[in-house]
A and B are shown apart, each in its own frame.
Chain A
Amino acid sequence: MQATKKYYFSDMGVMLSRSMRHIFRSMDTIMTVTITPIAMMLLFVYVFGGAIQTGTANYVNYLLPGIMLIAIASGISYTAYRLFLDMQSGIFDRFHSMPIARSAALWGHVLTSLVSNAISVMVIILVALIMGFRSPAGVLSWLAVAGILALFTLALTWIAAIAGLSAKSMDGATGFAYPIIFLPFISSAFVPTASMPKVVRAFAENQPVTSIVDAIRALLSNQPVGSELWVALAWCVGIMVVAYFFAMRIYQKRV
């Protein structure tokens, strides 16, 4: 017991460096994760953008929060994919028969998910800057945005962990992400919810993505952030806690 506790962070560090190597040796995954959101951003800004009334002069500014969430939602399907492969390959059996904390292997994947999604979000912000994205936000606001995105990533990562740990096939492991990727479309990510039909609007205004998008948008444009920030945080933390609980239960059962 003592040994596994003493070395917990060192073991997790080994696991993290392992899966970070995986990511850097398959840069195509980062490409795949970022290319679709970037294409969407181009499409919405240069094709549909002229027809969309958002009340902001700069549509890239309006769009960026939602695009970042879409990138994270597609990024976490790779977390599920990597986890599924590890479960299949027997390498988890090797780790779990060694004197290291059992959760170290799983946490390695979770941290990797955070880092790789951070990388793809940065790539997207760079592209957005080239497309004319500008923000008057100060360091504190940016830190708050980073915090919200990290929480959102963690929440989705634990959902991905459930999928990756319990899936019977590769498609099952990654397919869960599609509905999540779709959520931003029925939110305030692309157009204001006020323009939507009543029923759709009711859904859009009460699902997590809208509050997260609104909070990030307000922070980035130096607008006062109101209750949407707390609603966003509550969603992220709530989803994270529930998903963490179920993922850990499945993990303990499977290994």
Chain B
Amino acid sequence: MNAKQNKAIQVMGLQKSYKTVHVLKGVDFEVEKGSIFALLGSNGAGKTTIIKILTTLLKQDGGTATVNGFDVAAKADLVRQSISLTGQFAAVDEILTGRENLIMIANLRHLKNPRQIAEDLLNRFGLSDAADRRVSTYSGGMRRRLDIAMSLVGNPQVIFLDEPTTGLDPEGRIEVWKTVKALAANGTTVFLTTQYLEEAEQLADRIVILHEGKIIANGTLADLKKLFPPAKVEYIEKQPSLEDVFLAIVGKKEEN
């Protein structure tokens, strides 16, 4: 019972096919409350598909998934009250201003004081100066920051970020990382997907790697590094990066 309550997300035997492609072939993992969880995978691995199922946008073909203790298929409404989603492609309204975007979300979450909430988030994300400009004039990085800020409206317990730093410059990336760490420090559970192994290394308490429809590795960074063949004496200075681990595991699987 107790163990269950510590889990923000539980996924068991998840299956999903699109017409002809079998994308998820039985995916299992669990996410601890208040942790940062990174789902790694290359293009087309099915990361977005998993996020869409967990955020109730898509129905799985098989298996179960619960978020915040609620089944995503049966209790979609309760799941939606516990989460927020920052999708792979910025979900901001280009014609509205940054402030109006935030107020709109606060209104949709039926919060008191939408103006104050918007003001606070604009300050926190360094968007105060651009607050009353249309989002269509924002840079890619500003848009992404607004996108994430919109997801924080109402302090949801579980936050999903689908490739939050893709397309950002190094500075923007570091900013997003800071935000993510601050969220987790406040007890929010963060589920993120990324193609950047370095990002997972930087942020995640737990990392899983999705490859060909299955989870092929699941553990802390230290666990994953153990999977990698010990560094040879000649190269002793270089620790394996997650990238090496990933390539090694994928390479091994393909040999089999």
Chain B 49-68: CB-based contact to A (< 8 A → 1; otherwise 0): 00010011100000000000
With A3-B77, A21-B100, A100-B108 in contact, do A94 and B95 touch (Cβ < 8 Å)? Answer: no
Would you call B96 and A18 a contact (CB within 8 A)?
yes
Chain B residues, Cβ within 8 Å of A141: none
Interface size on A, residues (CB 8 A): 24
Chain B residues, Cβ within 8 Å of A3: 77, 81, 110
Interface residues of A (CB under 8 A from B): 1, 3-4, 7, 10-11, 14, 18, 21-22, 25-26, 89-91, 93-100, 255
With A98-B108, A255-B57 in contact, do A90 and B91 touch (Cβ < 8 Å)? Answer: yes
Would you call B95 and A22 a contact (CB within 8 A)?
yes
Residue of B nearest to A92 (CB): B91
Would you call B91 and A89 a contact (CB within 8 A)?
yes
With A18-B93, A21-B95, A91-B93 in contact, do A97 and B100 touch (Cβ < 8 Å)? Answer: no
Would you call B85 and A93 a contact (CB within 8 A)?
yes
With A1-B77, A21-B100, A255-B57 in contact, do A97 and B84 touch (Cβ < 8 Å)? Answer: yes
Neighbour of B150 across the interface among A89, A94, A96, CB < 8 A? A94
How many angstroms from the CA of A6 to the CA of B172 in the assembled complex? Answer: 40
Chain A residues, Cβ within 8 Å of B141: none
Neighbour of B88 across the interface among A14, A90, A95, A99, CB < 8 A? A90
Interface size on B, residues (CB 8 A): 29
Would you call B77 and A4 a contact (CB within 8 A)?
yes
How many angstroms from the CA of A21 to the CA of B83 in the assembled complex? Answer: 28
Neighbour of B92 across the interface among A10, A21, A91, A100, CB < 8 A? A91
Chain B 76-108: CB-based contact to A (< 8 A → 1; otherwise 0): 010011011101111111111000100011011
Interface residues of B (CB under 8 A from A): 52, 55-57, 77, 80-81, 83-85, 87-96, 100, 104-105, 107-110, 134, 150
Neighbour of A89 across the interface among B89, B105, B107, CB < 8 A? B89
Would you call B95 and A11 a contact (CB within 8 A)?
no
How many angstroms from the CA of A255 to the CA of B59 in the assembled complex? Answer: 10
Shortest beta-carbon contacts, A-B, top 10:
A94-B91, A90-B91, A97-B85, A99-B80, A97-B55, A90-B89, A99-B81, A90-B87, A91-B91, A14-B107
How many angstroms from the CA of A203 to the CA of B88 in the assembled complex? Answer: 50
How many angstroms from the CA of A221 to the CA of B181 in the assembled complex? Answer: 70
Chain B residues, Cβ within 8 Å of A10: 107, 110
Neighbour of B57 across the interface among A4, A11, A97, CB < 8 A? A97
Apart from the given pairs A14-B107, A21-B96, A21-B100, 16 other A-B contacts in the complex at a CB distance below 8 Å: A11-B108, A14-B104, A14-B108, A18-B96, A89-B90, A89-B94, A90-B89, A91-B92, A93-B52, A93-B87, A93-B91, A94-B105, A94-B150, A95-B108, A97-B80, A255-B57
Chain A residues, Cβ within 8 Å of B89: 89-90
Chain B residues, Cβ within 8 Å of A90: 87-91
Chain B residues, Cβ within 8 Å of A4: 77
Residue of B nearest to A14 (CB): B107
How many angstroms from the CA of A91 to the CA of B150 in the assembled complex? Answer: 11
* Between-chain CB contacts (< 8 Å), 24 pairs: A3-B110, A4-B77, A10-B107, A10-B110, A18-B93, A21-B96, A22-B95, A25-B95, A26-B95, A89-B90, A89-B91, A90-B87, A90-B89, A93-B52, A93-B55, A93-B57, A93-B85, A93-B87, A94-B105, A96-B57, A97-B56, A98-B108, A99-B77, A100-B108
